[in-house]
Structures are given as structure tokens and as C-alpha cells.
Amino acid sequence: MPYILSTGTAQPPYTFQQADVKPFVRDMFSDVFADIDRLLTIFENTGIDTRHFCVPIDWFKEGHQFKEKNELYIENATALGGQALSNALKNAGLDMKDIHHLVFVSTTGVATPSIDALLFNQLGASPHTKRTPIWGLGCAGGAVGLSRTFDYALGHPEEIVALVAVELCGLTFQRNDITKSNLVATSLFADGAAAVIVGGDQYRSEGRLQIRTTRSMLWPDTLDVMGWDISSSGFHVIFSRDIPTIVKEKTVPDLLDFLQENKVQEPQHYIFHPGGRKVLEAYREALELPDGKLRVAEQVLRQNGNMSSCTVLHVLNQFFTEKIISPGEVGLVSALGPGFSAEMLLLEGI
């Protein structure tokens, strides 16, 4: 079975406190919403203290066309992705030339050649490295990327696979979009990167995590729950206020079925994508989890905000580096994304 050999993360240089962002958002939306101060209480209710971005706060005060945003995306995604991958390789005692397959996940910009090709050149990969760029999975992308990495490692147990997820949500900001969805987005989303190194059976070793199995779920007639509306100025965020309800009514029943199918009565650990405090509360209530079970996800949300696909990998990084999952214990990974979809994995401590 495939094993997680190491993880790594990277953060962009500009750190914003929620208190720094709130006055900016008030100025932007005050002419549109008479009850702006009531709406801005969301900043205190997100469960977020700090977020990190690849541009300073003054950048958000001006309008920017898609071309400029995307050029910044390519530059910063390559730098952050390379840093996260370098950190993961160092933690595994490996070199880029040891990687046989590079999986790259992102949804906040576009590039051809894809970012994985740029990383290939930046880090000096073998010219025979296989590459799989994956786009459009949103917040589910980190978990889906880990599942596809698992699939490849399962079929090629002698090879090493690297997963890199980079999201620059800040660059999708729309200065002239004065919808409630955009207002909510200004309180939640952030930039970040993460990487995971996975190997097959021969890389089994104490302290590593075995990936036991995965499941993908796509619910019919939910295409309008989450995604992008794309215009000449770039990506406009779409997400429904009903996501916490969907978690309770759709996601949790499928999670429980996934556990039952794999004869896991109750996992010891929950490695969930913290899309927001309300999403974590919905998981906690529906699964009847005791206090502390979502501690790591809450910590990542508080310190980083919602970094889309790479957020769940930041949670995984905490579990891996702090050796929270003991031998024989099971961890459940889950993340939600456009479609509306969910990705689930079972990990076991070695």
C-alpha cells in the first residue's frame, strides 16, 4: 500500500490580521449595504485570526485585469509551490531527481506550460518525470490530489510521487464585485501552498502514514453550490450559504457509509478541510464529535484562513509532523469542492 513519506508547506510574505481587513471591506461595501456593520460581524465569526497573501493590502485597493492577476499567479504559484515541495523533499531526505511523478493541483489561475513544468525546471527534475496537472477542483483539490497520488503509487509501488497544491485566492479578488458572496469571501480566503511525498510498499517505515483507501462523491443537481463565474476581470466566487446544511444532510451520511464499508467504527482522528467555522461546526454536530476532535483543523483555519485546496494538506502536515496519529490509529481525511463534491481518504499510523 502507498505511504506518506513527508509533507511540507509554504506561506506567502504578507500577513493580514482580520482587524486590518475589516475597515477596508467596510469602505468597499458601505454604499451598497445599509446594514454593513451587521454584515461585518462575519469577521469575528469566521474563527480566523490571520491570513497570508502574495501581495500587500494596498494591491486590493485598485482594480486589476485578469492578465495582470494571472501573471502574478504564475510567478507566485511557482515560487510558493517550489518552496513547499523543497520543504517536503528535505523532510523526506530526497532530491527532486528522486521523484518519478509530479501531481500539481490549483484552481486560482491558469498556465500553459502548466506550473508543474515550471517547477520541473526550477527544481531540476529528471527529464523523464511524469506530470499530471489538475485544475478546477477548488477546496476539494488537495484531498483529490492525494487520492490520485495514491492511485498512481498503488500501481507503481517502486516509484515516488510528489503532490503539490497551490492556491492564490487573494489574486481572484474583485474590487468592483459588491455581492454578498464577495463580501463573505473577503473574510475567509487566503493564499498558501503544500506538498506531500508518497511512495509504495518498499517505503513502509515507522512514523509514516499508510493510505488505506479513498472514495470520491459527486452529488447530482448541485452544480450551483460552489465555483467560479469567469469574466474579463477574472474569477468571481460562487458559493451557497447552504453548505453547512449540505454537510449535515449529504456529506456526513456518505462519510459514515465510507467508514462502514471499510469496517471502521470510529476513526481516532479527523483531518478535515476547514472551509469555515460553520462548516466545522456542522461536521461536529452531525458526527457528534467531542470537543478537541477538530482542534488541528481549527488551528489551521485560525492561523491561515481558507486556502482552498491546500488547506486540508496543511491540516495533514500538522498531523504528520507532530506524529499525532499513533501506530494502528485511523485518520479520516475529507474535503468538499465544486460539483458539489467530496473526497475521502483513510490513513493509518505505522
Catalytic center residues: 139
Q: Is 121 helix (H, G, I), strand (E, B) or coil?
A: helix
7 and 271 in contact (C-beta within 8 Å)? no
Q: What is the dihedral of CA 15, 281, 268, 203, to 10 degrees?
A: -40
Give CA–CA dist 258/6, Å, rounded. 26
Buried/exposed 155-180: b ≥16 CB within 10 Å, e otherwise: ebeebbbbbbbbbbbbbbbbeebeee
Give yes or no for a cis peptide into 267 (omega within 30° of 0): no
C-alpha cell at 137: 477542483
Strands (E) located in the chain: 3-10, 14-17, 50-53, 101-106, 130-135, 160-168, 191-199, 209-218, 226-231, 234-239, 269-272, 330-337, 341-349
Bridge partners of 335, per DSSP, are 343
